[in-house]
Chains A and B, each alone.
Chain A
Amino acid sequence: MIRESYLNWLILLGLLAVPIWALTADEPFTITLATRAAILALAAVGLNIALGIGGLVSFGHAMFFGIGGYVMGILAYHAQSFTPLDLGAFSIAGTKSMPIIWLVALILSGLAAWIVGLLSLRTGGVYFIMITLAFAQMFFYFSISWSTYGGEDGLSIYVRNGFPGLNTLDPIQFFGICFVLLCLVLFLNARLQGSPFGLALNAARQVPARVETVGLDPMRIKLLAFVISGAITGLAGALFADLNRFVSPTMFSWQMSGEFIVLIIIGGVGRLMGPVVGASLFVLLEHWLGGLTEFWHIYLGTILLLIVLFARGGLIGFLTGKEGAHV
């Protein structure tokens, strides 16, 4: 049994060590895999704030992931084709600058989360799961038929966007960007969890009635958590699109939302590092099992089943010997 705080550092170091090893071993694709894991982890960290701390089981977080992706796609598309983005009353130029894209992705996905949250938080339980799914499906179908930006074919960006002072096309440098962002968000998440707001959110999940009777509004607290959560997942979406240099409606698909939830459960719900463990393991399995057999989904399914049945509290719960981050 390992103390969770030690384990957390170990996990982070592990994720950092793999690409560094790959760099020396000249295995650039391994770096790409690690980058993918870091970005998926970031998306799931976002969801974990809503789901793990706030108890808001969103089955629609692909919506924010996709919004982030399309923010990147649309801005970069206008920049690479030198056409301004026409917004009716005014038009803006596209951009290939990552920081600006990130900012727009954060703001727009946060805004979407605010609207969706406002409407969805009236419901609870399975209804909340399904109403968030419904919103994501609307985005999915809309993006499929939105021919301006490629519809189902998606949108290709030929060159990865730029970050001042870095060569983002170099796999290890792009990994560095993603890893630093992941660490920043994890740090923010850790602070948030221990902050007065985190305390209120945590209580709003467990005993909303109590939160009300001390004069706080659980709805507003959950809504804000949902906005933060959506914004982070949106940021991850922008990075994911940049990793692939491509966006498509699949980023909005319900399978994507499901995958985020799965990542969290594998790692451990509500655990700080749960999403990181889940994403790393998922990418690893996908890569390794896929090499073994055409029917690798069967084995993936079996492994997931074993995790649910025998490692309650996810892998972190299993390793630390504590079943739940809560409970």
Chain B
Amino acid sequence: MFEPVLETRNLCKSFGALTATDQVSIDLRPGEIHAVIGPNGAGKSTLIQQICGGLRPDNGQVMLLGKDVTSASTQARAKAGLARTFQISALAMEDSVLENALLGALGASGRPWRFWQRASAAVDLRDRAEAALDRVGLLDQGDKRCAELSHGQRRQLEVAVALTLAPRAFIMDEPMAGLGAAGSKQLTDLLDGLRGQAPILLVEHDMDAVFALADRITVLVSGKVIATGPVEDIRASGAVREAYLGEAA
């Protein structure tokens, strides 16, 4: 039995009368891709926010590498090894592709107070950024402004920035959103190769990608975990079909 890399314990969060997450306990184990699925409004975004530090849970805990990070800031969690990608690309659109990757490398280096050196000439940053870009296949696009990238390339850059952090766990918020079949396929292959580097908590609507990638699946409906387990079990579960897959089909 492996110690989970990331674990939530009974996370509760409500906004007024609306309960967004209700006693959510999930874990992420080394080497796996753990997909979280559920209909719109199931609480997936709220869950990610609580894991990454954007929202403070009303109750419950977030454990990262065995440490309680429930009240840690977003930056502290990032430093502790959590890397997240955004559902809507959060990239510095005016900057170049390389600069976006350099930003990640800068965060990883932990030394942002450098005022004199050129960022692109800082060897430590550049190596790390280029390695990440290479990994996602954007190395040759380094000088392009981010705003000029295609949608698919932006999704790849999101992953590249996360990679520069050399994280202990990835949190990916609908990385396939808005991608066509070809783009989905390409990104699926990329993510498939990442699990060896660090486990991925994957929130995703694209069921093809989920079933292609996930080792385990958790189904979230109305803030509650209604099922969790290996892919086959979920696929077979009547409750899930009824609550979710039936509805989606």
Given A210-B90, A327-B94, verify A216-B106 contact (CB < 8 Å): yes
In whole Å, how far is B91's beta carbon from the nearest beta carbon of chain A?
A: 7
| CB-CB contacts below 8 Å: B105-128 with A | 106-108, 110-120, 122, 125
Pairwise interchain contact A207-B112, C-beta atoms closer than 8 A: no
Q: Once A and B bind, how many residue pairs between them come within 8 Å at the CB atom?
A: 101
Q: Are B92 and A206 in contact (CB under 8 A)?
A: yes
Contact (Cβ within 8 A) B115 A212: no
* Among A194, A209, A216, A327, contact of B86 (Cβ-Cβ < 8 Å): A209
Q: Is the pair B107, A214 in contact by a Cβ cutoff of 8 Å?
A: yes
Query: Which listed residue, A192, A214, A327, touches B115 by the CB 8 Å rule?
Result: A192
Distance from B96 Cβ to chain A, minimum over Cβ atoms (Å): 10
Q: Is the CB of B90 within 8 A of A196?
A: no
Contact of A212 among B75, B95, B104 (CB under 8 A): B75
Q: Mark A183-201, 1 if CB is under 8 A from B, else 0.
A: 0000000011011111110
Residues of A within 8 A of B90 (CB): 207, 209-210, 213
Q: How far is the CA of A197 from the CA of B90 in the complex (A)?
A: 19
Residue of B53, B54, B113 with most partner-chain A CB within 10 A: B113
Neighbouring B residues of A224 by C-beta, 8 Å: 113
Whether the pair B165, A206 counts as a contact (CB closer than 8 A) is no
A215 CB-CB contact with B under 8 Å: yes
Interface contact A210-B94, CB-CB below 8 Å: no
**B103 CB to nearest A CB, Å:** 5
Set of chain A residues within 8 Å of B165, measured between Cβ atoms = 214-215
Q: What is the CB-to-nearest-CB distance from B51 to chain A, in angstroms, rounded to a whole number?
A: 11
CB distance A194 to B118 under 8 Å?
A: yes
Contact across chains for B78 and A198 when beta carbons are under 8 A apart: no
Question: Are A195 and B107 within 8 A (Cβ)?
Answer: no
Instruction: Say yes or no: is B102 at the interface (Cβ < 8 Å to chain A).
Output: yes
A144–B43 Cα gap in the complex (Å)?
A: 56
> Of all chain A residues, which has the CB nearest B99?
A199
Among residues 270 to 327 in chain A, which have CB atoms less than 8 Å away from a CB atom of chain B?
Answer: 324, 326-327
Q: Which residues of A contact B64 (CB under 8 A)?
A: none
Bound-complex Cα distance A191 to B122 (A): 13
Task: Enumerate 29 A-B pairs (CB-CB under 8 Å) in ascending A order.
Answer: A191-B115, A191-B118, A192-B115, A194-B120, A195-B116, A195-B118, A196-B111, A196-B117, A196-B122, A198-B119, A199-B102, A199-B103, A203-B95, A206-B95, A207-B90, A209-B90, A210-B103, A212-B53, A212-B74, A212-B78, A213-B84, A214-B103, A214-B106, A215-B78, A215-B79, A215-B108, A216-B75, A216-B112, A326-B94
Besides the contacts A210-B103, A213-B83, what 16 more A-B pairs have beta carbons closer than 8 Å? A195-B117, A196-B106, A196-B111, A196-B117, A199-B102, A199-B119, A203-B95, A209-B54, A209-B86, A210-B92, A211-B103, A212-B74, A212-B78, A215-B79, A215-B165, A324-B94
